[in-house]
Amino acid sequence: GENVEQHPSTLSVQEGDSAVIKCTYSDSASNYFPWYKQELGKRPQLIIDIRSNVGEKKDQRIAVTLNKTAKHFSLHITETQPEDSAVYFCAASLYSSASKIIFGSGTRLSIRP
């Protein structure tokens, strides 16, 4: 079955700098890769997702890149702000089936003022 590994588990960056979180997956059939943000005490919420037919997707300060050959995908946050402090989860699934969705173990991102 699918396995998703996420690194690093914790990340601290200076406000205004960029943050990168990386995930690898094992099942080459996976074709949908969402990222969820969970603020302290809150529910996870989707911030961006990418499907396997594209290599990169951007939404303002957030971007996700996908390398299908290497089976890894990354979340990039530029010009980080205090409100970016949260736990981020990557996930992988087979989009067009009655699928399980497998989450990474999470990255706790802290933005230093």
Partner 1 sequence: EAQVTQNPRYLITVTGKKLTVTCSQNMNHEYMSWYRQDPGLGLRQIYYSMNVEVTDKGDVPEGYKVSRKEKRNFPLILESPSPNQTSLYFCASSLDRINTGELFFGEGSRLTVL
The DSSP output letter for 106 is -
Stretch that binds partner 1, among 12-20, 38-46, 56-64, 70-78 (CB under 8 A): 38-46
Handedness of CA 21, 26, 32, 37 (dihedral sign): negative
101 belongs to the binding site for partner 1 (CB under 8 A): yes
62 belongs to the binding site for partner 1 (CB under 8 A): no
Binding site for partner 1 (CB under 8 A): 1, 6, 9, 32, 34, 36, 42-46, 49, 89, 91, 93, 95-106
